[in-house]
Amino acid sequence: MNKIAVVFWSGTGNTEAMAAAVAEGAGPGAELIPAAAFDPAALANYDAFAFGCPSMGAEQLEESEFEPMFAACEAGLAGRRVGLFGSYGWGDGEWMRSWEERCAAAGIALAAPSVICCEAPDEDALAACRALGAALA
């Protein structure tokens, strides 16, 4: 059984709901971990990773907890199975496209298409999150 870290930051609960669906899709090896509690030194303990963060400010990752944690993980994610997800309240998903480009530049190949949704995830978004989790399992 693969160990999958589902690491997320959520302000309103939307991205947390998405994280729960990713973990459900990934199965019993998935562990939900708030970004503030994830230690990048633990990368070696997992087979795959799903990172979730909503769009914040001017289409960027949350700056105080998520961004520093993800930056510390980046170098250790090349060649690993990684997926991205998150919600947004306005815009068109630019923050996710920027995040995907950042990952590509760091040598991180995504294992499945990223999942985004506007505001609270509907059933289609939750199904896409479960599919993302299954792709990482």
pLDDT digits (tens, 9 = 90+) for 1-20: 799 999 999 999 999 999 99
Give the distance, in angstroms, between the CA of residue 86 and the centroid of all CA atoms in the same chain: 7
In this structure, is the dihedral angle defined by the CA atoms of residues 115, 120, 122 and 127, taken in order, positive or negative? positive
d(CA 83, CA 21): 13
Contact 43, 73 (CB under 8 A): yes
What is the DSSP track for 45-90? G-SEEEEE---BTTTB--TTTHHHHHHHHGGGTTTSEEEEEEEESS
pTM of the model: 0.97
Low pLDDT (below 50) residues in the chain = none
Encoded tokens for 108: 């991180």
